[in-house]
Amino acid sequence: MRLSSFLPQALLPREDRFFGLLRSSTRNLHQTTIALVDFFEDYQDIERKAAHIRDLEEIGDHIIHEIMSNLHRTFVTPFDREDIAELGVRLDDVVDMAEEAARTMVEYHVTAPTPRAIELTHLIDQAGALLEDAGEKLRARGRLRELLPLTVELNRIENEADQVTSKAVGELFAIEKDPIEIIKWREIYGLLEGATDRCEDAANVIEAIVLKHA
């Protein structure tokens, strides 16, 4: 996958460049969450799949670097520069945690994912789809309030992920007898839940942008 397919053209006006970068970030995030579901749900050839997710994480790193570089070079921005930076970082955090979850599964030689882990990846992907939708809608300054239902749904997904994680850890202690497996899965569940937390953080930044500028 080429980085150029995600980054906007260098000659775009500054404002268009920020919207393009944020849209690229949300699109890359959703591609990552789709890949994460495939990794957990079809648990084979996992080294290759983890490498693909790592490639997406590197694309995300390039995009956040471009966002920060443009913020340093631009006097006038479409939204508060602090909000643009914070949103970019939170979107990148989601991709980082997804990549770490897949990599941890490989490094810990996990033989099979649990149903709860798969359930969490589907919640992460639901959030990824909503964030990609938000990235497409940020440009429409006169329709920013249409983003608020997306932020509400992202908060709901995070709450559901918390409940799934709580059940998963409870089941882990009730069923698993090997303390090493307990340690492994507590970390993996924490990474998956953390991805939904970062999605909620991104939603909170989007909500702040809407309330300031709608």
Domain CATH code at residue 187: 1.20.58.220
44 found inside a domain: yes
- Tokens read off for 29: 């995030």
The residue assigned the tokens 């937390």 is: 197
Distant-in-sequence, close-in-space partners of 52: CB < 8 Å, separation ≥ 6? 35
47 found inside a domain: yes
pLDDT tens digits along 34-43:
999 999 999 9
Q: DSSP class of residue 167? A: H
The yes-or-no verdict on residue 67 having pLDDT over 80 is yes
1 found inside a domain: no
CA–CA separation, 58 and 95 (whole Å): 9
Indicate the number of domains in the chain. 1
Torsion sign (Cα): 141, 128, 191, 46: negative
Distant-in-sequence, close-in-space partners of 90: CB < 8 Å, separation ≥ 6? 198, 201, 202, 205
pTM given for the model: 0.91
| Residues of the domain holding 121 | 10-213
Confidence of residue 163 (pLDDT cuts 50, 70, 90): very high
* 8 A C-beta contact, residue 137 and residue 143: yes
2 found inside a domain: no
Least confident of 5-14, 70-79, 85-94, 137-146: 5-14
Whole-number pLDDT of residue 14: 55
The yes-or-no verdict on residue 115 having pLDDT over 50 is yes
Closest of 136, 130, 137 to residue 151, by C-alpha:
130
